Amino acid sequence: MKSSKPVSELRLGVVKVSLNQTEMTLLDNLRQHYERAAYMRAAALNQPLPKLPDPAAVTTWAESSRVQSCFTQLNEITHPLNTIRLEQGEEAAARDLLRQAPIILSLFKKFRSEILGDQDE
């Protein structure tokens, strides 16, 4: 797998640190939501910690996977329709589109429900 980072930015060294229970508790209290290693690296090298993402953005990002799934399902229908249109003509594509119209409508309803929450139609 090719790394997107320049070689100079790759982390190649590992430093093992042992802590007793009191030190571990102190570290956990200081690091808040940061990973232990990220916090210790920043503290040791006098670097700022990366900004934590907005929790609402994280939730939105996670929930958008359901919306993406809806688009993927729609794409699985539309791509073959375009192939039919190119290879067999618009009339054949229109017939296939009419055949799949209930499925497409169902997917759009699912999409709306994912966007708006489970509200009544």
Tell me the DSSP string of 82-120. Answer: HHHHHHH-HHHHHHHHHHHHHHHHHHHHHHHHHHH-S--
Q: Which residue has the tokens 């003509």?
A: 89
- Say whether both 90 and 110 belong to one domain: yes
Owning domain of residue 76:
55-116
Number of domains in the chain: 2
Tokens of 7: 């070689």
- Say whether both 64 and 75 belong to one domain: yes
Work out the pLDDT band at 121, boundaries 50, 70, 90.
very low
- Say whether both 60 and 111 belong to one domain: yes
Q: For 100-118, write each residue's pLDDT tens digit.
A: 888 888 888 887 777 766 5
Higher pLDDT, 47 or 78: 47
pTM of this structure: 0.43
